[in-house]
Amino acid sequence: MYKILVVDDAGFMRKMVQSHLLKAGYNTFIEAEDGQRAVTLYQENNPDLVIMDITMPNMDGIEALRRIKQINPNAKVVMCSAMGQESMVMEAIKLGALDFIVKPFKPERIIQTVGKILPIQ
């Protein structure tokens, strides 16, 4: 089964992403509340996918993406952003993010994006 690291400073957002993915058949999740913890958990768990917010305290998603890509250049990362963060999204794509999901997002968009990267087995 796939391991998915869900990173967002809002606990309800982490739970919402996991809830939608559970319904789609994914079931192994790791949670982080900021980029700094995400980098640590990435090193410890080597997840198959990271779904990460851009705007967070301590370390934002852009810096966390940069560090995760230094650990593993092949890391699969999808960024989440609010409307109006287009320049940050473009920077994330340049750094190697595979895709992005704009908040507030629809459940189908999360499932579709993850399914392209990690097809249900």
CATH domain 3-116 topology: Rossmann fold (3.40.50)
pLDDT, mean over the chain: 93
Task: Give the pLDDT score at 12.
Answer: 94
Task: Give the pLDDT score at 104.
Answer: 83
pTM for this predicted structure: 0.94
* CA angle in degrees (0–180, nearest 5) for 58-61-64: 80
User: Could you give the CA distance from residue 93 to residue 25 in angstroms, rounded to a whole number?
Assistant: 27
pLDDT tens digits, one per residue of 27-68: 999 999 999 999 999 999 999 999 999 999 999 999 999 999
CA distances in angstroms from 19 to 71, 90, 107, listed in the order given: 28, 28, 9
pLDDT tens digits, one per residue of 77-86: 999 987 667 7
Contact 76, 97 (CB under 8 A): no
Contact 60, 89 (CB under 8 A): no
